Chain A
């Protein structure tokens, strides 16, 4: 016997989901831009494909990144994905090994125990197969139990909050959760009647449910199992579970070099579908942990983007700090997506800054740009320039008498065209100084100059430049007993990947202590971010206070920042902990006896023509 009507729900579901996935993949691939298709073809037969396969396995089946975040959570995802995968693979092997005619319809391996009660033709493998099938079934069930438990007490699995799901997700989730208990029931009933199982299903069938009318349960159990499977397959493409096939495609495309562009594209669509709404981004977001805003994080933003359009609140309520990007196990380029979504709504016209005329500044080797935020913290400028003087740097302070904003705040708000005007003006200004290197104390500017200006000179954050000076022995620093907590600014750490240099520099002055894991790429935002405009000053302070609290302990003497905005934000939120820019700490410990020029700020001649 190779057929029974109960296989129909499963078969319809399977046919539908396979057609849908193949259709969707094809559609996505042909909708990629020509350039993207070209690079995909070019790299298809290269080592990248093997890497992508490996990554798909590590992430899709074993969920390595989630494991790293929290072992139990990783186990939960792994047991479900890997366990189910193994059941399918083993089921297929088993049914192929079993001697029968050539035709092996897709439902046959899935319902193998129903069709074959006498497994002895499998010979010596019978024992192995029945054991492994029971083992992996148990593995999956342990995952389901954890998933269920997570809905009630998520903290045990390292999550403060789980994602609130929409109806289609709930239906898919419920069918998924039912699949395996129903499979156990069907297999246990069969094992109870025909001894087809092993330690788990045989035990259940012959010792636990043996008193039940197994004969009457037999067909309904297999029907129910098939319906649950069918139901899951039919809902999969429209629910969060579309992430399973989409993530595989995403991993491959990413390996070939396809990424988010300056506007939403087909790749965005793939990324949207690849989001599993696992909710890991919700917990990583300080709007959630510190302000209890729990509905604008990527899990929801991406969901809205996938089904319709995020509303204004959804679009705007984000600091663009990229903590979620760092945390996302699927590696979705969330910040770029949000930026593009903001870009769709231009509110500044492209002629607004026609009043900007251009400057002339003295020429020098080093162009120093303090930026808007730098100008709000004159002590940072002063100490940085003192250090430059002490090291004998030939510099020109190119925004001494007022700057044009670097354009990043506009860009963070999606005002691309307006920002472009500022960028063009600044570009000329920088070019005219003839400098060989551009140094800024502000990571916001540094990132903007580096990533959006296409300058032909290197851009250094002052922490990098000062470290060079110190390493070249141009700056002599005295080591003190200070215990310094260093705060990584988002734009510097996640934005530019600069985390080592500031620490190395600070090690020359004192001991850098990182009392928390929330450092380097995982660093906390100060809350002052220019990427958000719709939270209040008090809310910003709450984030700042919580950040200070987390990055310091009783040993800390001073918090070192590398961002003038962070310094300002922290200072406005609390009084207990002294907050100093790296340059201020260095100046205090400068070894004057050794330096070439006793520190004195050089008066650079500046003219501004408006």
Chain B
């Protein structure tokens, strides 16, 4: 490999062809608004749980899309279902429902 003096860090590479998109498909099937997210971060900016921890709904969605299923499931537990994000989201993503779906996936869906 040509040495440019910088290189991608191996663990940060996401090969979407290899990603495990089962959870993403499972959720999209049950709540179409999952597809509407534009990762604007309004949800994260307002998040009640985000005041205390790194939890971010936007990042959780990213994880799901990248196939990091167990990370997403673990993160989802931090949400308090308070609903601020739903009201803040400009794309009308049904955020609380998606968090609940991720939680249910934890039970219904062997990763």
A residues lining the B interface (CB < 8 Å): 347-349, 351-353, 355-357, 372-373, 375-376, 401-405, 407, 409-410, 413, 415, 422, 528, 530, 533-534, 536-538, 565, 568, 572, 608, 610
Stretch of B3-11, B19-27, B63-71, B88-96 contacting A (4+ beta carbons < 8 Å): B88-96
The reply to whether the CB of B62 lies closer than 8 angstroms to some CB of chain A is: no
Q: Knowing A405-B48, A413-B100, say if A568 contacts B81 (CB, 8 Å).
A: no
Residues of A within 8 Å of B33, CB to CB, are: 536-537
Residues of B within 8 Å of A572, CB to CB, are: 87
Decide if B103 touches A533 in the complex (CB within 8 Å): no
Decide if A409 touches B82 in the complex (CB within 8 Å): yes
Q: How near does chain B come to A209, taking the closest CB pair, in angstroms? A: 62
- Nearest B residue to A608 via CB reads B51
- Nearest A residue to B55 via CB reads A355
Decide if A353 touches B87 in the complex (CB within 8 Å): no
Decide if B94 touches A410 in the complex (CB within 8 Å): no
Pick the contact of A409: B46, B52, B80, B88 (CB < 8 A): B80
- The 8 A CB mask of B19-59 against A (1 = contact, 0 = none) is 00000000000000100000000000010110111010000
Measured in the bound complex, the distance between the Cα atoms of B80 and A610 in whole Å is 17
Q: How near does chain B come to A568, taking the closest CB pair, in angstroms? A: 6
Q: List 6 A-B contacts (CB under 8 A).
A: A372-B83, A405-B82, A536-B94, A538-B92, A568-B87, A610-B52
Q: How near does chain B come to A164, taking the closest CB pair, in angstroms? A: 26
Residues of B within 8 Å of A373, CB to CB, are: 82-84, 87
Decide if B104 touches A409 in the complex (CB within 8 Å): no
Residues of A within 8 Å of B78, CB to CB, are: 352-353, 355
The reply to whether the CB of B12 lies closer than 8 angstroms to some CB of chain A is: no
Q: How near does chain B come to A532, taking the closest CB pair, in angstroms? A: 9
Residues of B within 8 Å of A534, CB to CB, are: 94, 97
Decide if A352 touches B84 in the complex (CB within 8 Å): no
Measured in the bound complex, the distance between the Cα atoms of B68 and A168 in whole Å is 50
Decide if B88 touches A415 in the complex (CB within 8 Å): no
Decide if B104 touches A347 in the complex (CB within 8 Å): yes
Pick the contact of B48: A403, A413, A536, A608 (CB < 8 A): A403
Q: How near does chain A come to B56, taking the closest CB pair, in angstroms? A: 13
> Considering the complex of A and B, which 8 residue pairs feature the smallest CB-CB distances, nearest first?
A402-B51, A352-B77, A537-B92, A347-B103, A405-B80, A405-B82, A372-B82, A533-B97
Decide if B92 touches A536 in the complex (CB within 8 Å): yes
Residues of B within 8 Å of A405, CB to CB, are: 48, 80-82
Residues of A within 8 Å of B96, CB to CB, are: 409, 530, 533
Q: How near does chain B come to A287, taking the closest CB pair, in angstroms? A: 16
Decide if B80 touches A530 in the complex (CB within 8 Å): no
Q: Knowing A355-B52, A413-B81, say if A376 contacts B87 (CB, 8 Å).
A: yes
For the A-B complex with A355-B78, A537-B92, A568-B87 known, give 17 more contacts whose Cβ atoms are closer than 8 Å: A347-B106, A355-B55, A372-B48, A372-B83, A373-B87, A405-B80, A413-B81, A413-B100, A415-B81, A530-B96, A533-B100, A534-B94, A537-B86, A537-B94, A565-B83, A572-B87, A610-B51
Measured in the bound complex, the distance between the Cα atoms of B104 and A348 in whole Å is 9
Decide if B81 touches A410 in the complex (CB within 8 Å): yes
Measured in the bound complex, the distance between the Cα atoms of B82 and A403 in whole Å is 11
Q: How near does chain A come to B111, taking the closest CB pair, in angstroms? A: 15
- Nearest B residue to A355 via CB reads B53
